[in-house]
Amino acid sequence: MAKAPRVKGEWKRLTVQAAAFLLMNPKLNRFFLGSIETGDTKSVCVPGLNCYSCPAAVGACPMGALQNTLGRSGKPAFPFYALGFLILFGLAAGRWICGWLCPFGWVQDLVYRIPFFKKIRTFRYDRVLRYLKYAVLGVLAVGLPLFSALKGVLVPWFCKLLCPSGTLFAGVPAVLAGGGALRVGFLFWWKIGVLLALLVLALLISRPFCRYLCPLGAIYGLFNRIALTRLDFSPASCVSCGRCEAVCAMGIDPKTQFDSAECIRCGRCSRACPTGSLSLRFGVRKKEDHK
């Protein structure tokens, strides 16, 4: 049985991820009540993919906010708040949010740690499939909600058809708790199938949803080159041992792709580096940082 590559200090990141989940979902008793938390804070976005309809949630998912604004009252509206929020957190942290704060990212990390027959770092069509998340962003999170709004209907298509975080933390608890008049039909079982497929893939591939389908990761990744939270590489001290590449959660080479939109700034590579050539830092990057 193959085990995921171990890195020192990884438990600290997993603890931060668990704490982030609890901060965004503190009303845990509501998982058993079949009702969602309400209040003024539900109009405030949280950084990760954390469903508004999760019974314990005290905030809103930025992707849900984006879709709902685009189709508000059946008429398209410019999502000033959602975009401003995404730009602010993108500039400050980029995909560090994916690596440290996202609840479904945490779930995938835990599943990947389960020993399985073979762990797959990359495969033939891996690079091509990574572009799917931009299609999901353009079609499901923006295009179709806008089209539906023009038809006078509000439909958050990404949430409705794909989002595994919403299925796991909102849909399943609602069904198990009774959910009042909730009717379980084809759409629910479709999303259960998507969720199960992603969890099975997560046994083999680290973070398959983050790599291939997450529109929020696609947005944050656009800021990685200029975000204040950054990965620095010092080639002068690098001994090309390959340890950073072997432990990378996103299957990239941190030495040459430290600014990649795929990097989730998890810090695994910097902790595995024996010479300290890679480091996770916060601040404005200087020109001489990579000389």
- Contacts of residues 236-240 at CB distance under 8 Å and 24 or more positions apart, as own/partner, are 236/291, 237/275, 237/276, 237/277, 238/275, 238/277, 239/274, 239/275, 239/277
How high is the pLDDT of residue 247? 95
Q: What is the pLDDT of residue 196?
A: 98
What's the confidence (pLDDT) of residue 6? 84
The total of other beta-carbon atoms located within 10 Å of residue 176's CB is 11
CB-based burial label for 126 (10 Å; 0-12, 13-18, 19+): middle
Dihedral pair phi/psi, residue 233, rounded to 5°: -130, 130
**Four-way CATH pick for 229-290: 3.30.470.20, 3.30.950.10, 3.30.70.20, 3.40.1190.10:** 3.30.70.20
Give the per-residue pLDDT at 181. 46
pTM equals 0.93
Encode the chain (291 residues) as per-residue pLDDT tens digits. Answer: 778 888 888 999 999 999 999 999 999 988 887 778 888 899 999 999 999 999 999 999 999 999 999 877 667 788 999 999 999 999 999 999 999 999 999 999 999 999 988 899 989 999 999 999 999 999 999 999 999 988 888 899 999 999 999 999 999 988 887 754 456 788 999 999 999 999 999 999 999 999 999 999 999 999 999 999 999 999 999 999 999 999 999 999 999 999 999 999 999 999 999 999 999 999 887 665 555
Q: Residue ranges per domain, the chain?
A: 10-221, 229-290
CB 264 within 8 A of CB 209: no
